[in-house]
């Protein structure tokens, strides 16, 4: 799979049953969790279970990508990383990140851990949960200026930030998401694209409301997000469908690429009464790359 994962499913790292169900969910990526879904007393057990799960699925082509959410860097994050890196996860999800400087710090840890375990340097990537504190939101523009070679994506969250601010919740008086959190979402999207990494939309907390999930996926994809967090296996199918190009989009993308290829050297062409230029060609190629990666109608 060359395209970025559409569905990122959180799985508690201390539940053998949920780990098994996660692997059967159809998710493009699993996030094996050592943070919020695991009680502090259970973390040593969870570290061992996650490392065993990674080792058991290493080198398997037909599998989800396997990531691990560690604890914050000022907590048990280093202990978590030291326990699981030897099993070579695809990457680590880093919560409560203040900015790219913190990611560079954990990159140094990973260099040492990879050397310890005989792993190729740079193998373990990073995904940052980049909006969980006010300072993190204010530092989002730094991702366009500070290169983090291991960084694979940015995601945001609307649950931890209100608590950090001292807000009563993340909604306004009408029940819609309040401006502060819409701003964090938009800045996360822009920061990810500016940094050249995947922008991943946050979770929908009511896993039973499929209609709301499908609407959220459509909005997120239209705005430029390329994947979404899931907290229940039932959310995986709708997310995969929501971030998969439609047949109409694929057909139009093929026509756009063919039109430009038939007139090499031109930066602007006409198609169906519209003038198309290089941004349209780049978007068409992205659509075709996603269709090739996930297969026609794959969900």
Per-residue model confidence as pLDDT tens digits over 238-280: 999 999 888 888 898 899 888 888 888 788 888 888 888 888 8
Which residue spans of the chain are classified as CATH 3.20.20.60?
Answer: 7-242
CB-neighbour burial class of residue 178 (10 A; exposed 0-12, middle 13-18, buried 19+)? middle
The pLDDT of residue 1: 45
Query: CA angle, 246 as apex, 194 and 209 as ends, to 5°?
Result: 85
The pLDDT of residue 271: 84
Residue partners of 141: CB distance under 8 A and separation at least 6: 187, 191
**Using one digit for the tens of pLDDT, what is the confidence trace for 170-184?**
988 898 899 999 999
The pLDDT of residue 292: 81
The pLDDT of residue 296: 72
The pLDDT of residue 283: 83
The pLDDT of residue 60: 66
Q: Is the dihedral of CA 213, 217, 220, 226 positive or negative?
A: positive
Which stretches of the chain score pLDDT less than 70?
1-2, 60-62, 297-299
Calculate the average pLDDT of the chain.
Answer: 92
CATH 3.40.190.10, applies to 7-242: no
The pLDDT of residue 299: 43
């Amino acid at each position: 799979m060359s395209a970025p994962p559409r569905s990122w499913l959180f799985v508690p790292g201390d539940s053998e049953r949920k780990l098994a169900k996660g692997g059967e969910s159809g998710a493009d990526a699993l996030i094996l969790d050592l943070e919020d879904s695991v009680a502090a007393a259970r973390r040593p057990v969870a570290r061992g279970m996650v490392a065993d799960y990674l080792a058991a699925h290493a080198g398997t082509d037909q599998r989800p990508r396997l990531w691990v959410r560690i604890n914050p860097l000022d907590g048990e994050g280093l202990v978590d990383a030291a326990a699981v890196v030897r099993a070579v996860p695809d990457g680590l999800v880093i919560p409560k990140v203040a900015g790219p400087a913190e990611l560079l710090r954990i990159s140094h840890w990973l260099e040492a851990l990879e050397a310890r375990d005989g792993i190729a340097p740079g193998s373990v990537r990073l995904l940052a949960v980049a909006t969980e504190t006010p300072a993190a939101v204010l530092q989002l523009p730094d991702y366009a200026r500070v290169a983090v070679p291991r960084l694979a994506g940015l995601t945001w969250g609307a649950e931890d930030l209100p608590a950090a601010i001292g807000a009563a919740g993340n909604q306004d008086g009408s029940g819609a998401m309040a401006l502060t959190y819409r701003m964090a979402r938009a800045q996360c999207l822009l920061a990810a694209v500016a940094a050249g990494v995947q922008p991943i939309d946050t979770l929908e907390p009511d896993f039973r409301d499929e209609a709301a999930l499908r609407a959220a996926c459509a909005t997120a994809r239209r705005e430029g997000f390329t994947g979404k967090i899931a907290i229940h296996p039932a959310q995986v199918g709708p997310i995969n469908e929501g971030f998969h190009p439609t047949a109409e989009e694929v057909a139009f993308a093929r026509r756009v690429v063919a039109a430009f290829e038939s007139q090499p050297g031109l930066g602007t062409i006409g198609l169906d009464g519209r003038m198309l230029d290089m941004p349209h060609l780049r978007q068409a190629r992205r659509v075709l790359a996603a269709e090739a990666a996930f297969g026609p109608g794959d969900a």
